[in-house]
Amino acid sequence: MKNNKANYLIVGTFVLAVIVGIVASVALLTGRTGATDDYFAIYDNVTGVEFGTRVLYEGFPIGQVEQVKPVQENNRVRFRIDLSVTENWQIPTDTIAEIASSGLLAAVTINLRAGKATANLKPGNQIPSVESANVMAAVSDLAKDISALAESDIKPLLANMNKTIGGFGDLLDAKGAALIEDVRLLIGDLTEQTPEIIDNIAKFSKKLNVSADQFSKVLNPENVEALNTIIENMELTTGNLAKLTVEFTKTQKSLDALMGNVGTFISDNRLDVDRSIVDLRHTVETISRHINAINQNMEGASRNMYEFTRQIRKNPGLLLGGSAPAEKAKKK
């Protein structure tokens, strides 16, 4: 009887130890080995995330996902993930929680990318989140794009190529012989004209050599020196023209200043100028009224002067008080 109780005690102790070991193993695997702090993050897509999903801090396990539940936010459904993290674990306020996996076949985890802020989140706060990059979804989208490209572009392109190749084949069947005959005739003509073409090329080469020699003679040192002299003279002329332009500019400025001074003088003496113009007009009008009498007097004076000069030419002694020639004529 005592042996049965001892056996039961040993078996019970073993079973209890196994249970304790299993619980401890599960706790170690899930990261729940002590007190925890609660945080949460919100995502648009939580594919692969469920209860027990590990929470990593820069790759180090610090907790697990406790709950995933949908929430209504801005008239759309999003998903809240409650996280349990090792108690007193310091999480900076700019830490980012992302859904990630280390490989294509690896389990999904919540990876906390540590921030650089000095302040830390308090238990119960929301951890800023970033959507995961789903490689399989990207591959699927790429496959869809390739399929659409094949349907909309590649197939019509292949059809057009087949059509073009078929048309080219029909063209060869219909006119291929004539085309080949034309090519043969062209090659024959080229063969016959090749010597003449070569001869023309040789003549052209000789003429080119002669032209090169003449050009070399033109560019002898004396001509080059003369050309350089001409260029220097042109440069000097250009400089002189530039100086002349500057002088013209100065002269123009002086003329502008002179015209300005004249304008100022006229403006300052406008009354005197107006009076001078009025007097000049009166003088001109007076002369125009008496111009006939003046002309008549000048005509009479000119006639008298003419008669006087005529008498002097006949008898210069009149200037010395001599007698007139008419009296001599009467004595005769």
pLDDT band (50, 70, 90) for residue 250:
confident
Question: What gap in Å lies between CA 178 and CA 225, rounded to an integer?
Answer: 65
Give yes or no for residue 92 having a pLDDT over 70. yes
User: Residue for token digits 């304790």?
Assistant: 20
pLDDT band (50, 70, 90) for residue 331:
very low
The two three-digit tokens of residue 109, written as one number:
């985890």
Average pLDDT over residues 131-135: 65
Identify the pLDDT of residue 324. 55
CB of 114 closer than 8 Å to CB of 98: no
Cα–Cα distances in angstroms (integers) from residue 30 to residues 26, 99, 219, 259, in the given order: 6, 17, 96, 103
Give yes or no for residue 228 having a pLDDT over 90. no
User: Residue for token digits 């219909």?
Assistant: 174
Lowest mean pLDDT among 6-15, 78-87, 138-147, 178-187: 138-147
- The pLDDT tens digits of the residues spanning 172-212 come to 666 667 777 778 788 888 788 888 888 888 888 888 888 88
The pTM of this model reads 0.37
Paired with 322 in beta bridges are: none
pLDDT band (50, 70, 90) for residue 164:
confident
Average pLDDT over residues 297-314: 83
pLDDT band (50, 70, 90) for residue 292:
confident
Identify the pLDDT of residue 329. 47
pLDDT band (50, 70, 90) for residue 332:
very low
Give yes or no for residue 121 having a pLDDT over 50. yes
Question: What gap in Å lies between CA 186 and CA 116, rounded to an integer?
Answer: 81
The chain-wide mean pLDDT, for the chain, equals 80
Lowest mean pLDDT among 27-31, 101-105, 170-174, 291-295: 27-31
